Structure 1
Amino acid sequence: MSSLRKLLRQSIVLIGFFVFWEMAPRLGLVDPAFLPPFTEVIGSLGQLVGSGELLQHFSASILRSLTGFSLALLVAIPLGLIIGWYPVARELLNPVLELFRNTAALALLPVFMLLLGIGETSKIAIVLFACAWPILLNTIAAVGNVDPLLIKSAKSMKLSSFKLFLKVILPASVPTIFTGIRMAGTGAILVLIAAEMVGAKEGLGYLITYSQYNFQIPKMYAGILAISLLGLLINYGLVSLERMLSKWNSPMNG
């Protein structure tokens, strides 16, 4: 019962937002042509689901984002661990990191499109670039911020460098690394949607742009809701994975 009350408290602002969305165009507070009632948007979303059109665009976007996101994990985590663990690597690569960490991914979208074309490769590449930096920087910070007492205690037990890294550094770094992973998961969707609005033939970004150009406004808002649901789904998956790995790495589990 208490969990139900907690859920209601957490949802009350969101419910109020949707009620206001429904009533504002009906009361003439906004033009219904530009902001249709929430129920019309939900109806349009249901039509997209029923026709299979939403699944087509949703699948295209999730495939692109997951591909770029997965590649970013494969590249950024090992590189971040190396840079964080070896001072020489950090010193050599720090100027490059400082240069690109302050470069917005969307600012480089025209460059990616010029070099890689307007097909799938450029879209996956821009997601890879956008996701790599928060993962990389948080991984470097995670390794650098491990409690020195833990390292000193491990060294007193005469652990080899490899075992020290595997049994102390890596488990202690997991929470901070996952902070970067969650940031990257959100960024993957935002950057991809922007990329799909240029030179794409399917995807949620294309659905929104196409609907806007054809003045199918309820359909446009339905696409925006679908993006929000996709973001929530990815965030929920990452949070669940973080809890599982954190539990697995806890001292009580050895």
Structure 2
Amino acid sequence: MIRRVFPYVSAFAVIAALILLWELGVRYGYLKEYQFPPASKIARGFVEISTIGFPTGVTLWSHTLTTVWRIVQGYTAAIALAIPAGLVIAAFPVLDKMLAPAIVFFRSIATLSLLPLVIVWFGAGELTKIVLIGYGCFWVMLSNVIAGVKYVDPVLIRAGRSFGLSGIELYRSVVLPAALPRIFAGARMALGVGFMVIVGAEMIGTIEGLGALIMEARTFYKSEITIVGMLVIGVLGFLISTGLAALERVMLPWASSIDEVKR
């Protein structure tokens, strides 16, 4: 029990010590408050945007819900398209070789560099933000689905064939379950991309959302509110990623057992 708790206690102690040093550094003039707002000022900023809002009337909870809903829409659309597309591409080696250069090309394009073009196509409204999130998540997810299927252990495939499996049945019973751990890893990576994209996408044409909050705070030199926005994004990403990891352990208990044996 102590061994399990100790890493968390030590991590908390290190973070608390750093926050204390930060606070003291500002109070004694070693750090400039407008550049490095101390924890006490950040806490006041959190209370301010939670109650009054920033801009006035738009609270932190409204910003958070708006951002989460945009990510959910773009991320869900990307996952729904990438998984079947990746499974089909990986199932046919010829198709995989034909599309591999295009996938690498589109995946290499920085998502936010498409922002001016997407605004021209869809305007500066909600659809633009969702499209950008979906674009960024799609290519990461697609690449991981394809790789997950391509790099299934050949021993598993031979074992399946020795039991008389072939074609779609072999794919469904052996290849797909073996690829699922990498597919889940791709889902977590795509989620991280979604959070990176949303910050930039929300800086254009909106006053709601955590990205818009950070932009407004920067404009008015409210560094403490900028940090609050960053912290909320980090916490959201951590919670959702942890949720996906928990879902993976529930759906793939055998994969968790293999990891424990390896360790």
Give me the TM-score of the superposition, normalised by structure 1.
0.92
For 2:18 and 2:78, how far apart are their aligned partners in 1? Answer: 35
Q: Tell me the SS of whatever aligns to 2:32.
A: coil
For 1:114 and 1:243, how far apart are their aligned partners in 2? Answer: 43
8 Å contact from structure 2 (residues 136, 190) kept in 1: yes
For 1:232 and 1:72, how far apart are their aligned partners in 2? Answer: 20
- How far is 1:57 from its partner? 0.4
Deviations 1:7-52 (A, max 9, x none): 1123333333322332221121221122221121022113322347
Structure 1 residues 204-215: aligned runs within 5 Å? 204-215=210-221
Structure 1 residues 104-115: aligned runs within 5 Å? 104-115=110-121
Unaligned runs of 5+ residues in structure 2 are 54-58, 259-263
Instruction: Show the counterpart of 1:244.
Output: 250
Instruction: Show the counterpart of 2:157.
Output: 151
Deviations 1:154-191 (A, max 9, x none): 11222242221111111101111111111111110111
8 Å contact from structure 2 (residues 25, 31) kept in 1: yes
For 1:120 and 1:57, how far apart are their aligned partners in 2? Answer: 14
Tell me which amino acid in the other structure corresponds to 1:102: S
Distance 1:21 1:250, change over 3 A: closer
- How far is 1:110 from its partner? 1.5
What's the RMSD between the two structures over aligned residues? 1.9
- How far is 1:214 from its partner? 2.0
| Alignment pair present for 1:23 and 2:24 | yes
8 Å contact from structure 2 (residues 23, 38) kept in 1: yes
Tell me which amino acid in the other structure corresponds to 1:8: V
Tell me which amino acid in the other structure corresponds to 2:250: M
Give me the TM-score of the superposition, normalised by structure 2.
0.89
For 1:70 and 1:228, how far apart are their aligned partners in 2? Answer: 20
Percent of paired sites with the same residue: 35
For 1:161 and 1:51, how far apart are their aligned partners in 2? Answer: 61
For 2:108 and 2:196, how far apart are their aligned partners in 1? Answer: 17
Instruction: Show the counterpart of 1:123.
Output: 129
- How far is 1:226 from its partner? 1.3
For 1:23 and 1:185, how far apart are their aligned partners in 2? Answer: 36
For 1:21 and 1:249, how far apart are their aligned partners in 2? Answer: 42
8 Å contact from structure 1 (residues 123, 195) kept in 2: yes
For structure 1, which segment, 55-64 or 112-121, has the greater mean C-alpha deviation from structure 2 after superposition? 112-121
Instruction: Show the counterpart of 2:44.
Output: 43
- How far is 1:251 from its partner? 9.3
- How far is 1:107 from its partner? 1.5
Deviations 1:106-130 (A, max 9, x none): 1112111121111111100000011
Distance 1:4 1:152, change over 3 A: closer
Q: Tell me the SS of whatever aligns to 1:202.
A: coil
8 Å contact from structure 2 (residues 249, 256) kept in 1: no
Distance 1:167 1:78, change over 3 A: same
Instruction: Show the counterpart of 1:60.
Output: 66
Tell me which amino acid in the other structure corresponds to 1:247: P
8 Å contact from structure 1 (residues 171, 249) kept in 2: no
Distance 1:187 1:171, change over 3 A: same
For structure 1, which segment, 185-194 or 227-236, has the greater mean C-alpha deviation from structure 2 after superposition? 227-236
| Alignment pair present for 1:69 and 2:75 | yes
- How far is 1:250 from its partner? 7.6
Instruction: Show the counterpart of 1:94.
Output: 100
Q: Tell me the SS of whatever aligns to 1:73.
A: helix
Tell me which amino acid in the other structure corresponds to 1:19: L
| Alignment pair present for 1:12 and 2:13 | yes
For 1:15 and 1:167, how far apart are their aligned partners in 2? Answer: 49
Unaligned runs of 5+ residues in structure 1 are none
8 Å contact from structure 2 (residues 206, 212) kept in 1: yes
| Alignment pair present for 1:196 and 2:202 | yes
